[in-house]
Amino acid sequence: MTKNEFDDLDSLFEAIENDIKESMNNEVAEEMRDEHIEQLDKFVYDSYEPSQWSQRNVPRREGNGGLKDRANMITTFNEKNNIIEMEFRNVTEGRTSPPVSYTDGTYA
């Protein structure tokens, strides 16, 4: 670990703030994604099997465009009055019908 030297308190506070933002963006956001996936497994994927899709052999999307897909987990940061606020959203859109190939009746 390298030792930083600061000429004034403003430089020190700026460095601390940057470290906090970096940590929130990396470690905290990633931990939130891990916890979100754990809760999705518990309350969504392990709690029931949707008969609408399973009867038609349509696999659940899970981490492939579904709720567990990390690309759908968005974090944004807002800073106001020396408070850094992080918002976590899962932007996965629901599937109202399975993709169907109308030529041969199979599901994609």
| Residuewise pLDDT in 10s, the chain (108 residues) | 456 788 999 999 889 988 988 898 889 999 999 999 999 989 887 887 666 555 556 677 778 778 889 999 999 888 888 788 889 999 998 776 655 555 555 555
pLDDT of residue 1: 44
CA atoms of 83 and 78, how far apart (whole Å): 8
pLDDT of residue 60: 74
Got the DSSP string for the chain?
Answer: -PPP--SSHHHHHHHHHHHHHHHIIIIIHHHHHHHHHHHHIIIIITT---HHHHTTT----TTTTSTT-GGGEEEEEEEETTEEEEEEEE-PPP-SS--B-TTT--B-
pLDDT of residue 56: 59
